Amino acid sequence: MSTELITAKTLSKEYKRGSEQVHALKKVDLSIKDGEFISIVGPSGSGKSTLLYLLGLLDSPSKGSITIRGKETSGLEERELVKLRRENIGFVFQQFLLLPTLNVRENMELPLLFSKKNGKPEKITEIIDMLGLSHREKHLPHQLSGGEMQRVSIARALINQPKILMADEPTGNLDSATAEKIYEIFKKLNQAGLTLIVVTHNMELATMAHRVIKLKDGEISSS
């Protein structure tokens, strides 16, 4: 039986924009089980990315709580949050965020410097092969296509062997054929046991997930 990996209770996020009080999320309740593939969709400004960043511990809620693998995150110090995030979550963003002076393998290995882990060469090679980048290993980012750059960013997110992969509009800069290939990679990763949470505006791609969570005006309208 699948166990709950992430639980969010009455999750709210408010911030000021000039004199305006913005309610980005309003008392969201959400449970994500180990091994699920979740898509988060909704119109611009609905709170999709806000929810993802809160679940990924990249931002803190105004109210409510988040539990990851049984650990309540409210009140944790920054160093504890960093440790929890580093040990459990990999991130993929719309912008590829690759360092232009590093080749594919070097960009992929970058998180190991911060986690102080020694990446096993065979594991690194396995990820490179799985993502079809073996022939590009020594290439710099400017020598890659958009799809290849996004695959490098996925490889980088996998290097610390996270339990959860979170992606914010990972196909937003890609053509439809390349975007579908990225989602096929996500499906294979999920079939191998990885939990995925993906924000997307593309409903056709979103339906490739196990569950689609729809946000509207900071609230879950359906899931």
Q: What is the CATH number of the domain that holds 83?
A: 3.40.50.300
Alpha-carbon span 33 to 212, nearest angstrom: 14
The answer to whether residue 80 sits within a structural domain is yes
The answer to whether residue 179 sits within a structural domain is yes
Alpha-carbon span 92 to 90, nearest angstrom: 7
- For residue 163, the enclosing domain spans 35-61+76-222
Per DSSP, helices labelled H in 48-145 are 48-55, 78-88, 104-115, 121-130
The answer to whether residue 125 sits within a structural domain is yes
The answer to whether residue 178 sits within a structural domain is yes
Alpha-carbon span 96 to 146, nearest angstrom: 9
The answer to whether residue 173 sits within a structural domain is yes
Cβ–Cβ < 8 Å for 194, 5: no
Per DSSP, helices labelled H in the chain are 48-55, 78-88, 104-115, 121-130, 146-158, 176-191, 203-206
Other CB atoms within a 10 A radius of the CB of residue 126 amount to 12
Q: In this structure, is the dihedral angle defined by the CA atoms of residues 126, 132, 134 and 139, taken in order, positive or negative?
A: negative
Which pLDDT tens digit goes with each residue over 93-149? 988 899 999 999 999 988 887 766 666 778 888 898 889 899 999 999 999 999 999
The answer to whether residue 50 sits within a structural domain is yes
Count the domains in the chain. Answer: 1
The answer to whether residue 30 sits within a structural domain is no
- The pTM of the full predicted model, rounded to 2 decimals, is 0.91
List the pLDDT tens digit at each of the 223 positions of the chain. 468 899 999 999 998 888 888 888 999 999 999 999 999 999 988 999 999 999 999 999 999 999 999 899 988 899 999 989 988 999 999 888 999 999 999 999 888 877 666 667 788 888 988 898 999 999 999 999 999 999 999 999 999 889 999 999 999 889 999 999 999 999 999 999 999 999 999 999 999 999 999 999 999 987 6
The answer to whether residue 152 sits within a structural domain is yes
